[in-house]
């Protein structure tokens, strides 16, 4: 069960990736986690990545792919994985396909959590984060008992910069330009599966499980 998750920022693909990993006993692999693990362990690949990160530069695609393929070699990936956050562009997707083919391997599914832009702006602009404990809430979908105060620790709630409407709009523009073409790419590969991400989070997960269990 080798899966890549697709979807706009705020579509909820990370949440679904974690649930898939937990239910089916495969690792949830994100590029951020891989970078952090390699940096902490001081691996050769991690130290290479650090030279770019220390200069405020993006880690090159070739090195990111090398880190991902190295991660796929771990024992916990024997039964598959859920890849989240990579690829983000067509060249990255093509490079991943080639790297897997060289190992006589391939992805089984590209699951696209489909949510219209208007829903995403509504979702993200309504999110509130606690400065103290990191808890997250939503003014409409998951409100706190007392406005502006965290239910978990009593800390102050704020709108994160990433959730401000003008920033969300910029992120969506970048997504449509760079990442949305992946939907067409994986559709041509014959592995794309779309799910309606506007539904309740549990219904979205149920639909994904139906896809995975009814090949």
Check residue 151 and give its pLDDT: 94
Which whole number is the average pLDDT over 164-172?
87
Q: What gap in Å lies between CA 158 and CA 136, rounded to an integer?
A: 10
In tens, the pLDDT along 83-130 reads 998 998 999 999 999 999 999 999 999 999 999 998 898 888 888 999
Q: What gap in Å lies between CA 205 and CA 138, rounded to an integer?
A: 20
First to last CA, the chain: 11
Check residue 28 and give its pLDDT: 94
Which whole number is the average pLDDT over 15-23?
93
Check residue 69 and give its pLDDT: 94
Contact 167, 161 (CB under 8 A): yes
Confidence of residue 165 (pLDDT cuts 50, 70, 90): confident
Domains in the chain, CATH or no CATH each: 2-27+74-116+172-213 (3.40.50.300)
CA angle centred on 73, ends 57 and 20, rounded to 5°: 85
Q: Which pTM value belongs to this model?
A: 0.83
Q: Whole-number mean pLDDT of the chain?
A: 91
64/163: higher pLDDT: 64
Check residue 101 and give its pLDDT: 96
- Residues of 172-197 as b/e, b for ≥16 C-beta within 10 angstroms? beebeeebeebbebbeeeebbbbbeb
In tens, the pLDDT along 188-197 reads 999 999 999 9
Phi, psi of 175 (to 5 degrees): -60, -50
In tens, the pLDDT along 37-60 reads 888 899 998 888 888 888 877 788
Confidence of residue 215 (pLDDT cuts 50, 70, 90): low
165/23: higher pLDDT: 23
Q: What gap in Å lies between CA 27 and CA 30, rounded to an integer?
A: 10
Which whole number is the average pLDDT over 178-184?
91
As beta bridge partners, residue 177 has none
Q: What gap in Å lies between CA 57 and CA 49, rounded to an integer?
A: 10
Which whole number is the average pLDDT over 14-26?
93
Residues labelled as active-site residues: 13, 88, 127, 160, 171
């Amino acid at each position: 069960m080798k899966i890549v998750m697709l979807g706009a920022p705020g579509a909820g693909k990370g949440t679904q990736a974690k649930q898939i990993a937990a239910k089916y006993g495969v690792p949830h692999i994100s590029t951020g986690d891989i970078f952090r693990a390699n940096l902490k362990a001081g691996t050769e690949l991690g130290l290479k990545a650090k030279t770019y990160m220390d200069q405020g530069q993006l880690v090159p695609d070739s090195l990111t792919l090398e880190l991902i393929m190295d991660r796929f070699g771990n024992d916990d990936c024997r039964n598959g994985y859920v890849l989240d956050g990579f690829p983000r562009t067509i060249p990255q997707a093509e490079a991943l396909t080639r790297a897997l083919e060289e190992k006589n391997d391939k992805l089984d599914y590209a699951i696209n959590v489909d949510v219209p832009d208007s829903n995403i702006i509504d979702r993200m602009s309504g999110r509130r984060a606690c400065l103290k404990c990191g808890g997250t809430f939503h003014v409409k979908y998951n409100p706190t008992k007392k406005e502006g105060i965290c239910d978990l620790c009593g800390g102050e709630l704020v709108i994160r910069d990433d959730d401000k409407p003008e920033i969300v709009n910029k992120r969506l523009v970048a997504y449509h330009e760079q990442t949305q073409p992946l939907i067409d790419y994986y559709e041509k590969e014959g592995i794309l599966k779309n799910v309606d991400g506007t539904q309740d989070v549990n219904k979205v997960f149920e639909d994904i499980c139906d896809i995975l269990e009814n090949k």
